[in-house]
Amino acid sequence: MESLQENSLFRPFAYIDGNWVAADSGEQIEVDDPATGEIVGRMPKLGRAETERAIEAAESAWPAWRALTAQERADTLMKWYDLMLEHQDELAAIMTAEQGKPLKEAAGEIAYAASFLRWFAEEARRVYGDTIPAAKSNQRIVVLKQPVGVVGAITPWNFPSSMITRKAAAALAAGCPIVIKPASQTPFSATALAALAEQAGVPRGVFNVVPGRASEIAKAMTESPVVRKITFTGSTEVGSQLMAGAAEHIQKISLELGGNAPFLVFEDADLDAAVEGAMASKFRNAGQTCVCTNRFLVQSSVINAFSEKLAAAMNSELHVGPGTEEGVNIGPLIDDDAVAKVSEHIQDAVDKGAELLLGGHTHPLGGRFFTPTLVSHANADMKVAHEETFGPLAAVLPFDDEEDAVQMANDTRFGLASYFYANDLSRVWRVAEALEYGMVGINTGLISNASAPFGGVKASGLGREGSKYGIDEYMETKYLCMDLG
């Protein structure tokens, strides 16, 4: 496969006000390939001063961008959408080189990322206001929706393209300019998107990418009264810090944070379907997604049958290796810390009595490759029951009855995604309504799509992305009261 430097969308520069720039300091971020540990590129490492310039550029670009009609903004988003699909292979190659996910999965993420551009191009033209019957006969009440203003965004490494477009598409559709700090481990996916935005005719200053020192850039965003909205996807710890920072200027904020997804299997479930859903929900991106199942809660009467079927599927369907290799569907983990965290969760579970059915160690390929692992008869005292593993570890815990299952599922500070398999209709409604989560997959392990409101409750965040709800995160509601005399 061609090197990153040969990729037509390789841009080792920040993108500010339509210009490709280096860091004022000349500092650079070394980006490595998780499969080999080799440096694949160097990205400028920006700080406060450059971020302030990006915010100024966004502020200057805002009036003209918001003055366009919704259709004109939609047309630009659709040109960007078409260019993403036209360059799907180049974008996927960049993603696999810096994030490690298998090429096929990376191409899938590019299509998913592009789908947000199309979705919000359509939503732009459906930002409706209201007229409300007034309390007085000589008055009229009108409600307007208006763009919130300059947006500051910080995005993660696990979905380096779609987590940017899920925010930027909604912001631009609403009429807002945006300054994005991508994860330092995956900055080239972000600047490749900027290259296509430029080609699509997104005006200078409307879309800016500032790779670099995270806390310094974040402070420049939250300390600027010009920035009216903060949007973040990543850890709960960082999200909490950003929420505190946003308080200074009362900035709107949306947070997509960590999860601890339960996957409940009731005795009336179709076990083969449940195993298929389990594989999809657990091993996507090698388990490195915020909506991956973290705990399998299985009714005692079927735990052995389910565990055996899951072990067989893992054994036959999962192939570990570099993302560039044909047939591989489990790539390397993002870094050594990620490997250590999975190992720690496995060791803790086994030390506390879990039964190791498959794997349990790093992969013979070495480095950041990890053997998909299954432990059964785990319990709530284990770290895997309360901490997000973010890797290819499936832990199966038994429950006795429905009440027990719901109590175990809700026994976490997180509340992002949850899943359950059952066929009894009244049970489906009871459990779906009792789960304290923002999203519930029922007889499915895959729930992410642009048309649905993605987000969580409790320590998993605030607000929703995608769907008709996602654009509201970038709008203000204004009430007009007209007195007709």
Ligand X SMILES: NC(=O)C1=CN([C@@H]2O[C@H](COP(=O)(O)OP(=O)(O)OC[C@H]3O[C@@H](n4cnc5c(N)ncnc54)[C@H](OP(=O)(O)O)[C@@H]3O)[C@@H](O)[C@H]2O)C=CC1
- CB-wise, 414 or 421, nearer to ligand X? 414
Size of the site for ligand X (CB under 6 A): 23
266 binds ligand X per the rule CB under 6 A: no
Contacts of 101 (CB under 8 A, 6+ apart): 95, 109, 285, 286, 323, 331
Report the C-alpha gap between 382 and 71 in whole angstroms: 53
In the 8-state DSSP scheme, what is residue 203?
P
Indicate which of ligand X, ligand LO4QSZO4, none lies near residue 448 (CB less than 5 to 8 Å, by partner kind): ligand LO4QSZO4
184 binds ligand X per the rule CB under 6 A: yes
7 binds ligand LO4QSZO4 per the rule CB under 6 A: no
- Applying the rule CB under 6 A, the residues between 365 and 394 that interact with ligand X are 388, 390
- CB-wise, 283 or 454, nearer to ligand LO4QSZO4? 454
Indicate which of ligand X, ligand LO4QSZO4, none lies near residue 234 (CB less than 5 to 8 Å, by partner kind): ligand X
- Please write down the HEC assignment for all residues of 211-230: CECHHHHHHHHHCCCCEEEE
What are the residue ranges of helices labelled H in 223-302? 236-246, 271-283
256 binds ligand X per the rule CB under 6 A: yes
* 294 alpha carbon, distance to own chain's centre: 16
- CB-wise, 148 or 238, nearer to ligand X? 238
Contacts of 346 (CB under 8 A, 6+ apart): 356, 360, 361, 373, 375, 393
Contacts of 201 (CB under 8 A, 6+ apart): 76, 79
- Applying the rule CB under 6 A, the residues between 130 and 169 that interact with ligand LO4QSZO4 are 156, 158-159, 162-163
For the stretch 422-461, what's the b/e string if a residue is b when 16 or more beta carbons lie within 10 angstroms of its beta carbon?
A: beeeeebeebeeebebbbbbeeebebbebeeebbbebbbb
The upper half-sphere exposure of residue 172, i.e. CA atoms within 13 Å in the direction of its Cβ, equals 34
Report the C-alpha gap between 210 and 54 in whole angstroms: 8
Q: What's the min distance (Å) between Cβ of 347 and ligand X? A: 17
For the stretch 70-80, what's the b/e string if a residue is b when 16 or more beta carbons lie within 10 angstroms of its beta carbon?
A: beebbbbbebb
Q: What's the min distance (Å) between Cβ of 163 and ligand LO4QSZO4? A: 6
- Applying the rule CB under 6 A, the residues between 137 and 156 that interact with ligand X are 154-156
Q: Which of 193, 238, 261, 435 binds ligand X (CB under 6 A)?
A: 238
Report the C-alpha gap between 25 and 20 in whole angstroms: 15
Q: Which of 68, 111, 141, 214 binds ligand X (CB under 6 A)?
A: 214
- Applying the rule CB under 6 A, the residues between 447 and 476 that interact with ligand LO4QSZO4 are 448, 454
290 binds ligand LO4QSZO4 per the rule CB under 6 A: yes
C-alpha closest to that of 160 among 194, 135, 126: 194
290 binds ligand X per the rule CB under 6 A: yes
Q: Which stretch binds ligand X (CB under 6 A): 114-122, 200-208, 254-262, 324-332?
A: 254-262
- CB-wise, 406 or 447, nearer to ligand LO4QSZO4? 447
Indicate which of ligand X, ligand LO4QSZO4, none lies near residue 214 (CB less than 5 to 8 Å, by partner kind): ligand X
**Rama region for 35: left / alpha / beta (φ>0; ψ in -120 to 50; rest):** alpha
- The reply to whether 256 belongs to the active site is yes
Q: What's the min distance (Å) between Cβ of 291 and ligand LO4QSZO4? A: 5
Q: What's the min distance (Å) between Cβ of 191 and ligand X? A: 14
Q: Which stretch binds ligand X (CB under 6 A): 179-187, 308-316, 368-376, 463-471?
A: 179-187
Would you give the end-to-end CA distance of the chain in angstroms?
73
| Residues 223, 228, 234: CA angle, nearest 5 degrees | 75
399 binds ligand LO4QSZO4 per the rule CB under 6 A: no
The single residue of 256, 388, 465, 473 carrying the catalytic annotation is: 256
Q: What's the min distance (Å) between Cβ of 166 and ligand LO4QSZO4? A: 7
Indicate which of ligand X, ligand LO4QSZO4, none lies near residue 224 (CB less than 5 to 8 Å, by partner kind): none
Report the C-alpha gap between 481 and 138 in whole angstroms: 10
Indicate which of ligand X, ligand LO4QSZO4, none lies near residue 258 (CB less than 5 to 8 Å, by partner kind): ligand X
231 binds ligand LO4QSZO4 per the rule CB under 6 A: no
Report the C-alpha gap between 395 and 342 in whole angstroms: 11
C-alpha closest to that of 190 among 50, 453, 9: 9
Strand order in the sheet with 417-421: 355-358, 373-376, 393-399, 293-299, 261-265, 417-421, 439-442
Q: Which stretch binds ligand X (CB under 6 A): 46-54, 117-125, 212-220, 371-379?
A: 212-220
Q: Which residues bind ligand X (CB under 6 A)?
A: 154-158, 181, 183-185, 214-215, 218, 233-235, 238, 241, 256-258, 290, 388, 390
Q: What are the residue numbers of the active site?
A: 256
Q: Which residues bind ligand LO4QSZO4 (CB under 6 A)?
A: 156, 158-159, 162-163, 233, 256, 289-291, 448, 454
